[in-house]
Structure 1
Amino acid sequence: MFTLAWPIVVTELLQVAYNLADTIWLGRYSAAAVGAMSLAFPLIFLLLSVGGGFTVAGSTLVAQYTGAGSDGDADFVAGQTLSFVTKLAVVLGALGFVATGPLLGLLPTDPETAREVVPLAADYMRVFFLGTPFLFGFFVFSALMRGYGDTRTPMLVMLLSVVLNVVLDPILIFGFTENPLFSMLGAEALQTSLFAETGFEGMGVEGAALATLVARAAATFVGVYVLFATALGPDLRLSYLSTDSDTVRKIVDIGVPSALEQSTSALAMITLTAMVVTFATPVVAAYGLGNRLISLVFLPAMGLGRATNTMVGQNLGAQKAERAERAVQLAASTGAGVMFCVAIVAYLFAEPIVSVFMATGTADAAETIRHSAEYLRIRTVEFAFIGVLQVVLGAYRGAGNTKTALGFSLMALWVGRVPTVAYLVFVAGWGPTGLWVGMALGNIVGAFGAVAWFLRGTWKESVVDDKPTGGTLAED
C-alpha cells in the first residue's frame, strides 16, 4: 500500500504545484488575478469532472483484471478508456470555450468583483479550455498506470511537466518588462536584453493558463509514448482504440456515478463560489488562496485513497476480500493520523504560510492574508476526517461500487457543507467566518456516514469475471 501511495502523494503534490506556481506569480501580479482563479477553477472543474469520472472506471477495471490474472483484458480496457475519454475531452473543451461567458454570467458578483475579477477569469478559462485534451490525456495515463500498479512512472512524467510550467509561468505572465524573477536572480541586465530583443510584455492571467497548457501537452505526449512504446504499464495497441460497444458500456456504467460525483462536487463549488463573490475582492481572493492550500494538505489523504482503490481492485479481482478490507483499515487509520499532524502545523503557522502567496504589499493583500489565515485555522478541524473519508471512498471505487461513493460525496457536500454555509452567511450573519466554518463541516459529516456504511461489509464484490479470461476481450 505504501509503495503505491507515496508516488501518488508526490504526483498530487506536483499537481498542486501547478496551481501554487500560478498563485505565487499571480499574487505578485495583483489580488484581482488571484480572485480570477478563484472564480475560474470551479467552473473549469465542472466540465473537466465529467471526463474525470471515466478515468476512475478505467483504473478500476484495469486493477481488477490485473488482479484476476487477465492482462490481455486489462490492456484492451486501457485502450478503450484512452480512446473514449480523448473523444470526450475534445467535446468538453469546445463546450467550455464557448460557454465561458454564460457560465461566469450566472455568478452574482459584488460590483468591484464584476469589474476587476470576472474579465480576468474569462481570459484564463478560454485559454485553459483549449488544452482540455492534453489535460485529460495525462489523467487517463496516470489512472491506467495506477490500476496496473505502477505509480512511479506517472510521478516522473508529472515532475517533467511541473518543471516546464514553473519555468514558463513568470515569463508568460510578466514578460521581460517588470518580471520579478529576474530581480530575485539578480539578472536585470539579462532582463533588459531579452526585452530589447523580443519586446514581450507578458500575458497576465492568460500567460498562466498558456504555461499550464504547454506543460500538460508535454506530459500527455510522454504518457502516450510510455503506453504504446514501452513495457511499462498496460500494453496498448492501435487496434485497442477502435470502439467496442460492450467495453465502453462497462466503462460508462462504472464511470457515470464517478462523473456525477465529481460534477456534483463542481456544482457545489460553483454554488459556494456564488456565495463567496457577494463579498469584496479580499474575501474572494482569500477563499481561492485558502482552497489551494487545503488542496495541498489534502494530498496524503488523496494518495492513500487512490492506493486503496488499486489495492481493493486487485485483491477483489483475485478473490481476496479480507485482505482488501485490512488494507482499507490500515489506510484509514494512517490517513487520520497523518492528517492530524498536518492540522497541528497548519493551525500554528497559518499566517506565515498564507503570507508566502501574497506579496504585493497593498491594503487588499494584507486583508487577504488576514482572511486566509482565519480560513486555514478553521479548516484544520476537519483534516483527520478528510483522511478517513478519502480512504473509504477509494475502497468503494476500487470495488466498482461508484454509486456508493457518489452517495457519500453528495452527503458531504450537499448535506454538510452547502446548506451550512448558506445558513451561517445569509441567515446567522456570520460573514466570512460563516464561509470558513461551513466549509469545514462537510467532510466530517461524510466521514461518519461512509464509515458506518463500510462496516456493513456489502461492498466486497468484484465487477469482473471471477476467473481470468486470458485476454478474451482483446481477442473479441
Structure 2
Amino acid sequence: MSPARDSITEGGLARPLFTLAWPIVVTELLQVAYNVADTLWLGQLSAAAVAAMSIAFPLIFLFLSIGGGFTVAGSILVAQYTGADSDDDAGKIAGQTLSFITLLAVAIAVVGYLATGPLLALIPTDPETAVDVVPLAEEYMRVFFLGTPFMFGFFVFSALMRGYGDTRTPMRVMFLSVALNVALDPVFIFGFEANPLFGVLGLAGVEAALFEATGFAGMGVAGAALATLLSRLVAMGVGFYLILATGAGPAVSLGHLRPDLDAIRKIVRIGVPSALEQSTSALAMITLTVMVATFPTATVAAYGLGNRLVSLVFLPAMGLGRATDTMVGQNLGAGKDGRAERAVHLAAGTGAGVMLVVAGLAFVAAEPVVNVFIGERTPEALRTIDLGAEYLRIRTVEFAFIGVLQVLLGAYRGAGKTRTALAFSMVALWLGRVPTVYYLAFVADMGATGIWIGMALGNVVGAVAAGAWFLRGTWKQRVVDVDVPSRPEAVGDGED
C-alpha cells in the first residue's frame, strides 16, 4: 500500500482526515458553483426564473438520488477492500459500479424526461406561480434530464476515487467542469442580445456583431440546463479516462466491467438503503416545495435562494462527513475499530466548531449576500431579499448540529450501516422538519417565518438522535469478507 493511503490507517488522525476533507469541500463548493452560477445569472433574468429553479430542483434530486445511493455503495466497498489490502477486489467492485450505474442512469434519464410534465402538474401552486414559474421549471427539467448519464458518470468516478483515498483528482476534474459551466451559462441564457456579461465587460459592440452574425437571443432557463449538460459531459469523459486508461484509483480492467451478479447483488444490498435515504430526502424536499409553492412568488424565490446559500455553508460539514466515510471504511477494512471510532470523535468536534464560525458569519452577512443574487429592484424583488435574509439568519441556529449529523452519517455509511444512516436521515426530515414546517406555517399561521423555523429544526433533532445511537458502539462492523493480517493499532494512532 502506498504511503499516501497508508496514512489513513496508520499514524495520526488529524492529517489524513484533513487531507481527505479539504478537496471534498472544494469539490462540493464547485458543485454548488454550478447552482450558484445558474441562480446568479437567472436572477438577472427575473425572480420567476429563480423560483423555477426552486420548483425544479427537488424533483430533479428525487431522480438523482436513486443512482446516488449506489455510488455510496461503491465507495464503501472500495474503501473497505482497500483498507484490507485487497486491490483486485477493489478494482472489480469499481468496475461493476461503473457499468451498473451507467445503465441505471440512462434509464433514469428517459423516465425523468417523460415524467417532467406529469410531476409538475401534481404540485398545487399559487395562481401566479402556476402561470409565471411552472412552465419555466418544465423547460429547465427537460433539458437537464438529457444530461443525467453525464452527471452520474462524474458522481461514480468521484465516489470510487474517494473510497480509494484520492479526493484531489475529482476536485481537479470538477474545477475544469465548473469553469466551462461558468463560461457557457451567460451565453446560453442570454445569447447575444441584452447579455449583462457583455455590458459589464464593455463589449456591447462585440455583442451586437455576434447577434447579427448568429441571431442567437438565448434560451433562458433552458440555456442554464444546457450549459450544465455540456459541462458534465466533459467531467464524465475526463473521469472515465483517468480511471480506465491511466491507472489512477482502483485498478479497473475491461474484464471488471462485465456484469457479475454476486458483485452487483452486494452493491444493491448496500446501495438500496442509501438510495432510499437520498430518495426520502428528495421526497421531503418535494413535500416542502409543495407547501412553499402555495405562497406568492417572492416566498418561493426566497426559499430556493436560501436553500442554495445554506447548501454552500453546508460544505465543511459534508466534506468532513465524506472524509469520515473513507476513514471509517478503510480502518474497519484493516481491522482497526478503535482508530475508526477516534476518527469519528475528532471529525464531529471539528465539524461542530467550524460550523459555529460559519453560522456567525452567515448571520451577520445574510442581507448583503442575498442582495447579490437579485438583480431587479421591483417591490417583489425587494420582498424576496427581505425574506431570503430572514430565512438565512434563522437557519444559522442548526449549523453546528449539521456538522455533527453529517459526520455521524458518514461513520455509519463507512461501516456499511446504510440502513442506520437511512433511519436517522428520516428522523431529521420526516420527524424534525416536514411536520414542523406544516404546523408552524399553516396551523400556527406563522406563514413564511414558520417555514424557516421548521426547516432549521430538522438537523437539530437528527443530530441528537444519531449521537445517542452512536454512543452504543454497535456500528463497528465491516461488510467485506477478506482475511486481514494482524495489524495492531500503534500507540501513536491518536488525534495528532
Instruction: State the TM-score bracket (shorter-chain normalisation).
Output: over 0.9
1:466: Cα distance to partner? 4.1
| Matched position secondary structure for 1:359 | coil
C-alpha separation between the residues in 1 aligned to 2:327 and 2:482?
17
Moved more, 250-259 or 192-201: 192-201
1:360: Cα distance to partner? 1.6
Whether the 8 Å CA contact 2:188–2:227 is kept in 1: the answer is yes
Whether the 8 Å CA contact 1:36–1:120 is kept in 2: the answer is yes
Aligned residue among 224, 238, 247 for 2:240: 224
- Same amino acid, percent of matched pairs: 72
Q: Which runs of 4+ in 1 moved over 4 A?
A: none
State the partner residue of 1:474: none
1:34 aligned to 2:50?
Answer: yes
Whether the 8 Å CA contact 1:60–1:309 is kept in 2: the answer is yes
Q: Give the letter for the 1:435 counterpart.
A: I
Count of residue pairs brought into register by the alignment: 469
Moved more, 358-367 or 240-249: 358-367
State the partner residue of 2:83: 67
C-alpha separation between the residues in 2 aligned to 1:81 and 1:322?
29
Flag structure 1 segments of 5+ consecutive residues without an equivalent.
470-476
1:238: Cα distance to partner? 1.6
State the partner residue of 2:483: 467
C-alpha separation between the residues in 2 aligned to 1:271 and 1:138?
28
State the partner residue of 2:352: 336
State the partner residue of 1:410: 426
C-alpha separation between the residues in 2 aligned to 1:124 and 1:150?
33
State the partner residue of 2:199: 183
Q: 1:55-454, aligned counterparts within 5 Å?
A: 55-454=71-470
State the partner residue of 1:3: 19
C-alpha separation between the residues in 2 aligned to 1:238 and 1:284?
48
Whether the 8 Å CA contact 1:425–1:434 is kept in 2: the answer is yes
Whether the 8 Å CA contact 1:172–1:207 is kept in 2: the answer is yes
C-alpha separation between the residues in 1 aligned to 2:37 and 2:326?
30
Whether the 8 Å CA contact 2:39–2:50 is kept in 1: the answer is yes
1:235: Cα distance to partner? 1.8
1:269: Cα distance to partner? 0.2
1:468: Cα distance to partner? 5.2
| Matched position secondary structure for 1:349 | helix
C-alpha separation between the residues in 2 aligned to 1:38 and 1:436?
15
State the partner residue of 2:7: none
C-alpha separation between the residues in 1 aligned to 2:242 and 2:482?
30
C-alpha separation between the residues in 2 aligned to 1:258 and 1:64?
17
C-alpha separation between the residues in 2 aligned to 1:361 and 1:171?
24
| Matched position secondary structure for 2:433 | helix
C-alpha separation between the residues in 2 aligned to 1:59 and 1:188?
49
Q: Give the letter for the 1:373 counterpart.
A: A
1:231: Cα distance to partner? 2.3
State the partner residue of 2:6: none
State the partner residue of 1:473: none
C-alpha separation between the residues in 2 aligned to 1:179 and 1:381?
39
Q: TM-score, normalised by structure 2?
A: 0.94
C-alpha separation between the residues in 2 aligned to 1:467 and 1:164?
46
1:455: Cα distance to partner? 0.6
Whether the 8 Å CA contact 1:65–1:468 is kept in 2: the answer is no
C-alpha separation between the residues in 2 aligned to 1:198 and 1:451?
59
Q: Give the letter for the 2:294 counterpart.
A: T
Q: Give the letter for the 2:439 counterpart.
A: Y
1:465: Cα distance to partner? 1.4
Whether the 8 Å CA contact 1:16–1:296 is kept in 2: the answer is yes
Q: Deviations over 1:203-240 (max 9, x none)?
A: 00000000000000000000000001112111222211
C-alpha separation between the residues in 2 aligned to 1:468 and 1:345?
46
C-alpha separation between the residues in 1 aligned to 2:42 and 2:253?
42
Flag structure 2 segments of 5+ consecutive residues without an equivalent.
1-16, 486-496
Whether the 8 Å CA contact 2:43–2:375 is kept in 1: the answer is yes
1:193: Cα distance to partner? 1.2
1:186: Cα distance to partner? 1.1
| Matched position secondary structure for 2:104 | helix
C-alpha separation between the residues in 1 aligned to 2:98 and 2:482?
25
C-alpha separation between the residues in 1 aligned to 2:372 and 2:442?
32
C-alpha separation between the residues in 2 aligned to 1:323 and 1:98?
48
| Matched position secondary structure for 2:432 | helix
1:188: Cα distance to partner? 1.1
C-alpha separation between the residues in 1 aligned to 2:179 and 2:379?
32
Whether the 8 Å CA contact 2:334–2:484 is kept in 1: the answer is no
C-alpha separation between the residues in 2 aligned to 1:364 and 1:254?
47
Q: Deviations over 1:349-394 (max 9, x none)?
A: 1000101111122221111000000000000000000000000000
State the partner residue of 1:46: 62
Whether the 8 Å CA contact 2:351–2:404 is kept in 1: the answer is yes
C-alpha separation between the residues in 1 aligned to 2:241 and 2:251?
11
Q: Give the letter for the 2:414 counterpart.
A: G
Q: What is the RMSD of the two structures over their aligned residues, measured on CA atoms? A: 0.8
Whether the 8 Å CA contact 1:319–1:466 is kept in 2: the answer is no
Whether the 8 Å CA contact 1:313–1:399 is kept in 2: the answer is yes
Q: Give the letter for the 1:328 counterpart.
A: V
Q: Give the letter for the 1:249 counterpart.
A: R
State the partner residue of 1:18: 34
